Amino acid sequence: MAIMAGQASPLDEHLLIGVDEQLLPPPSTGASFWRSCLNLSNVISGIGTLSVPYALSQGGWLSLVLFVLVGAVCYYTGKLIVRCMQADDSVRTYPDIGQLAFGVNGRRAIGLIMYVELYLVAISFLILEGDNLDKLFHGTVVEIMGYRMHGKKLFVLVAAAIILPTTWLKNLNVLAYISAVGLIASAALTASLVWAGVAEKGFRVKGTGLLNLSGLPTSLSLYFVCFAGHGVFPTVYSSMRKKRDFPKVLMISSVLCSLNYALTAVLGYLIYGDDVHAQVTLNLPSGRLYTRIAILTTLITPLTKYALVIQPITAAIDENLSVVAAETGQLTKVLTSTAVVVTTVVLACTVPFFGYLMSFIGSSLNVTVAVLFPCLSYLKIYNTKGGVRRVELVVIVGILVVGMCVAIIGTYTSLNQIIDTF
């Protein structure tokens, strides 16, 4: 039986509880303007901060123009999402928009894309933990049942062992609130780069280029990672006390996050030039206080957000297997969560290429969620009513064409890069 836009399925409820509960205020009040700004900034600002200097190194200084354009496009598509929600008061989640625009198939399609995106993000969390812990404790060797483990794989397993019990929790509220330190981590990383530039490497222009055409697909893909988060926008909007203020909240959050991303990108590229790593923390010299601060603050966010990210996936698996009966629910949750963690560990150890994975996520999934789906949904909902002006139609079609090109070329490039490393 089809699920109407206003009738959220249990799966949608899991999605809200698992990922976005930190955004939901007491129902009688609603989130204030500035709390909404904080919530949305926390959604937009993420692990893209680590890779944005690498993105700049791939495309060159002129790719900053593309960074600005990507930010502007994502801001515009964020407004389109809200306008889609305003078309029907019963729409509260991202899948609801798919239902309103394209029926049950639209809900299923966008749900599937979101689950794949969350799964790959969970893998990138483990890769990030392994790389950075290996830098902090380089040379550590552990012998388990006669098998010597060391390097990134060892620390991926260590991180997974720490994370695993958090995935068994029924109530993830505590982790949801702790995950807000992502904003602090972003600020700490930028401050550490300033410290490194002044105290150690110094700032330089040598070794940096104006434009690198072959690297532009990677740059564009990673820039889209920076502004991902559109799947949570409906929840932020629904949680607000004064929903009419959402465009202002979106503008303030986008500008603040863009400034932090741009500053991090410029500092990282000025200091390390073309030698900058896909995770800029790996460039910081070992043993320095600012290096430890940057890495430790960066590591907190994946540790606290991993359980939030995979919960919608485990909820979907449980529902599809029809084994969520009350007497076996907790055991099923434990088994399903453990299975998901194990598979992400295996893939994190098999494909430990953070930059390439983030590029693939940006080009194939983030572009779909942040650009293609909002534009197509808006046109489907409003064009039939004659509510789309000709100029706006031209702009949206142009964004769709560019988005499709980025998705195809970026996905092809990132997959080739991953394959070539084997």
Q: What is the pLDDT of residue 22?
A: 42
**pLDDT-derived band of residue 15, with 50, 70 and 90 as boundaries?**
very low
CA angle 279, 119, 117 (to 5 degrees): 80
Q: What is the pLDDT of residue 324?
A: 47
Q: What is the pLDDT of residue 201?
A: 64
Q: What is the pLDDT of residue 180?
A: 64
Query: What is the identity of the amino acid at 408?
Result: I
Closest CA to 144 of 154, 152, 135, 136: 154
User: How does DSSP classify residue 31?
Assistant: B
**What average pLDDT score do residues 48-56 get?**
89
Q: What is the pLDDT of residue 239?
A: 82
Structure tokens at 385: 């009513």
25 or 241, higher pLDDT: 241
Helices 289-321 and 151-163 cross at an angle (nearest 10°) of: 60
- The ranges assigned to domains in the chain are 10-420
What is the CATH class of 10-420? mainly alpha
Q: What is the pLDDT of residue 124?
A: 86
Give me the DSSP letters along 145-209: TTEEEEHHHHHHHHHHHHHGGGGG-S--HHHHHHGGGHHHHHHHHHHHHHHHHHHTS----TT--
Cβ distance 411 to 360 under 8 Å? yes
Q: What is the pLDDT of residue 205?
A: 57
pLDDT of 328 over the 80 cut: no
Cβ distance 166 to 338 under 8 Å? no
Average pLDDT, the chain: 81
Question: In this prediction, what percent of the chain has a pLDDT beyond 90?
Answer: 25
CA distances from 53 to 88, 265, 374 (A): 41, 4, 28
pLDDT of 341 over the 80 cut: yes
Rounded to whole angstroms, the Cα distance separating 210 from 267 reads 16
User: Among 7-16, 50-59, 320-329, where is mean pLDDT lowest?
Assistant: 7-16
User: How does DSSP classify residue 241?
Assistant: S
Q: What is the pLDDT of residue 71?
A: 94
User: Among 144-158, 274-288, 315-329, where is mean pLDDT lowest?
Assistant: 315-329
Own/partner pairs, 143-152, CB within 8 angstroms, 24+ separation: 152/127, 152/349, 152/352
Q: What is the pLDDT of residue 116?
A: 86
In sequence order, the 6+-apart residues with CB closer than 8 A to the CB of 130 are: 152, 153, 154, 155, 156, 159, 348, 349, 352
Cβ distance 183 to 45 under 8 Å? yes
**pLDDT-derived band of residue 376, with 50, 70 and 90 as boundaries?**
very high
In sequence order, the 6+-apart residues with CB closer than 8 A to the CB of 159 are: 126, 129, 130, 133, 302, 303
Taking only the tens place, the pLDDT of each residue in 55-79 is 999 999 999 999 999 999 999 999 9
